Amino acid sequence: MTPPLVAFRDVEKTFPNGVRALRGVTFVVRAGTCHAICGENGAGKSTLMKCLFGLETPDSGSILIDGRAVGPDHSPRAAAAAGIGMVHQHFSLVASLTVAENIVLGREPTHGPLIDRAAARAEVRRTATRFQLAVDPDAQVAGLSVAAQQKVEILKALARDVRLLILDEPTAVLTPQETAELFERLRHLRAEGLTIIFISHKLREVRALAEHVTVLREGRVVGDAPIGAISDDAIARLVMGREVRAARREVRHALGPEVLRVAALSMPAAAAADRLVDVSFVLHAGEILGVAGVEGNGQRGLVSVLSGLTRPASGQASLLGRDVWRMDTAALRRAGMGHLPADRFAQGGARTLSVADNAIGGEHRSPALGRWPLLSRWRVERRAATMVSAYDVRCRGPRALLGSLSGGNAQKLIAAREFAAEPKLLIADEPTRGIDIRAAAFIRTQIIALAERGSAVLLISADLDELLSLADRVLVLFGGRIAARLENGPSLTPEALGPYMLGLRTAA
């Protein structure tokens, strides 16, 4: 029998800060299959993949590719030479370069001493067509939406000749349509013989794509089975160590007083993701208003205007009866706005500051944190410790750097901070993107609880199941306009939203 494409044998990894991320991981990935890896935030999934891709070195144990152990000099270059491509959980694109430049980075086609831009562009177009992932090769990465950046990442990995593609939570940033499309492409690639390792917190996706699933918990393999031999409940139990109840909003109250009123908001000249045309709506206390739409249809613009980051070209807005038209972020925050940003590391926090420093942002002027102008270190750390335990953030303590936390855990901390301020208006932008089932259920419960206590919530989410289980009403954005205003109810399904999201119908 041919050896498996990849075999992990007793792989151990302890980080310099003492975190034991991997404890004797042993399992195999067979060629030509799609192999899913599940596990809660901080289970060690990304770390294991980084070991395979040569970005981290295991302390002991071995990794075998085609039956041959990789040497101590394993590196991303060696991994690429062995036909391994990886799409990281956090993007590794160079923001100031164009899409084409990013994709050919490190192996640029040359023309004498110069980079042959035309060839690079042509190559990118070819790859993009072949895998049907539409991108503009000349667009600057900095200006792309998160979903588009993810596409570029995938293309970048596919553009090299790969036999094994590692996807670390690729769908966390994609819309359902884009996910379905991606899966279509991945199935096609698998039929051509590509092996795929796929990390996801969404069991539905695992079932849709994978043949085999390995479950990690606290750095150990706790389950490894063909997908047909294991039920979703069994996987969820293995991931969590116990059952989780899905969060769903049951009670719906009469509408409270008006919190946010937006009238004729427009930014017609902005880039597609920011463009808004004549957006008007009212949001009441205790209400959760969902915003649906294919990514890049104005959601980003809506969030950045309401959170005070951009000034709209025209329109009106009032928060709790006060005119907040053109207020900046500081004033909006004072007026009761809270914002959980979609891009956690660009806006939500600072990797090079400690968990404690990240936890007190916005609250750092409060007298509860020490006598003015000092910040009591003890109080700051106790404050952070409260959030860490309430939201079950896995970290070494308040002094750990945010950058040393796993993706999902960093996000939980940021959510904890924004919710702790008890905002009158919470803008929750993709609040559960990339976090595990239990943490997602927990955050949804917190959003519901916030609404029950009288906050108004504007929930932007590409996860339609999430939207429909939380929202009282749903707005659908298409091309920067409100394409539909729908009451949520049993008859509203993801399928029913589809035509509005694609601009085929309107009901505004």
Ligand X SMILES: Nc1ncnc2c1ncn2[C@@H]1O[C@H](COP(=O)(O)OP(=O)(O)OP(=O)(O)O)[C@@H](O)[C@H]1O
Burial of 96 (0-12, 13-18, 19+ CB in 10 A): exposed
Q: How far is the CB of 457 from ligand X (least distance, A)?
A: 24
Residue 347 binds other proteins, judged by CB under 8 A: yes
CB 316 to other proteins: min, Å:
21
476 Cβ neighbours under 8 A, 6+ residues apart: 291, 292, 293, 482, 483, 484, 485, 486, 497, 500, 501
Of residues 13-32, those binding other proteins (CB under 8 A): 16-18
Whose CA is closest to 332, among 318, 345, 312, 314?
318
x/- site string to ligand X, residues 84 to 123, per CB under 6 A?
-----x----------------------------------
Does position 348 interact with ligand X (CB under 6 A)? The reply is no
Residue 87 contacts residue 167 (beta carbons within 8 Å): yes
Should residue 308 be labelled a site residue for other proteins when binding is judged by CB under 8 A? yes
Could you write out the three-class secondary structure of 31-43? CCCEEEEECCCCC
Distance CA 263, CA 282 (A): 8
Q: Could you say whether residue 385 binds other proteins (CB under 8 A)?
A: no
Question: Is residue 401 within the footprint of other proteins (CB under 8 A)?
Answer: yes
Q: Binding other proteins by CB under 8 A: which of 88, 261, 300, 339?
A: 339
Q: Among residues 451, 486, 461, 452, which one has the least CA distance to residue 338? A: 451
**Which range, of 232-240, 246-254, 324-332, 384-392, touches other proteins by CB under 8 A?**
324-332
Residue 62 Cβ vs ligand X, minimum distance, rounded to whole Å: 19
Least distance between other proteins and beta carbon 85 (Å): 29
Give min distance, CB of 418 to ligand X, in A: 18
Residue 332, contacted partner among ligand X, other proteins, Mg ion, none, CB below 5-8 A by kind? other proteins
Interacting residues of 378 by C-beta distance below 8 A, sequence separation 6+: none
Query: In the set 19, 50, 54, 89, which binds Mg ion (CB under 5 A)?
Result: 89
Nearer to other proteins, 91 or 183 (CB): 91
Least distance to other proteins, CB of residue 368, Å: 12
Enumerate the H helices of 21-163 as residue ranges.
45-52, 76-81, 99-103, 117-130, 146-159
Does position 57 interact with other proteins (CB under 8 A)? The reply is no
In terms of C-beta density within 10 A (0-12 exposed, 13-18 middle, 19 or more buried), how is residue 125 classed? middle
Neighbours of 102 (CB within 10 A): 25
CB 267 within 8 A of CB 274: yes
For ligand X, the closer of residues 196 and 402 by Cβ is 402
3-class DSSP state of 399? coil
Residues 1-60 close enough to bind ligand X by CB under 6 A: 15, 17, 19, 21, 39, 41-47
The answer to whether residue 365 forms part of the interface with other proteins (CB under 8 A) is: yes
To ligand X, the closest distance from the beta carbon of 80 in angstroms equals 21
Using the rule CB under 8 A, give the single segment among 218-226, 257-265, 348-356, 447-455 that binds other proteins.
348-356
| Cβ closest to other proteins, residue 214 vs residue 307 | 307
Terminal CA-to-CA distance of the chain, rounded, Å? 61
Which residues, 6 or more positions from 112, have their beta carbon under 8 angstroms from its beta carbon?
none
User: What is the bridge-based pairing of β-strands 164-168 and 84-87?
Assistant: parallel
Least separation in angstroms between residue 372's CB and other proteins is 7
Among 309, 496, 502, 508, binds other proteins (CB under 8 A): 309
**Least distance (Å) from ligand X to the CB of residue 301?**
29
Q: Does 297 bind Mg ion (CB under 5 A)?
A: no
Computed over its alpha carbons, how large is the radius of gyration of the chain? 23
Which of 245, 288, 244 lies closest to 452, judged by CA?
288
CA-based nearest residue to 22, from 172, 167, 218, 165: 218
Going through 210-331 in order, the beta strands assigned E by DSSP cover 212-217, 220-226, 258-267, 276-284, 288-292, 314-319, 322-323
Least distance from C-beta 49 to Mg ion, angstroms?
8
Q: Select 91 or 478, whichever has its Cβ closest to other proteins.
A: 91
411 lies in the site for Mg ion, by CB under 5 A:
no
Least separation in angstroms between CB 70 and Mg ion = 21
Given the complex with ligand X, which of 89 and 149 has the nearer CB atom? 89
Q: Which is nearer to other proteins, 167 or 342 (CB)?
A: 342
Restricting to residues 402-421, name those near ligand X by CB under 6 A: 404-409
Q: What is the arrangement of strands in the sheet containing 6-14, beginning at the earlier edge strand?
A: 20-29, 6-14, 60-65, 68-69
| Amino acid, single-letter form, for residue 417 | R
Question: Cβ 86 to Mg ion, closest distance in Å?
Answer: 12
Cross-strand pairs, 279? 265
Closer Cβ to other proteins, 54 or 338, answer by number: 338
Question: Are 277 and 266 a contacting pair, CB within 8 Å?
Answer: yes
Residue numbers at the binding site for other proteins (CB under 8 A)? 16-18, 307-309, 328-333, 339, 341, 345-353, 357, 360-362, 364-365, 372-375, 377, 399, 401
The residues binding Mg ion (CB under 5 A) are 46, 89, 407
Interacting residues toward ligand X by CB under 6 A: 15, 17, 19, 21, 39, 41-47, 89, 394, 404-409, 436
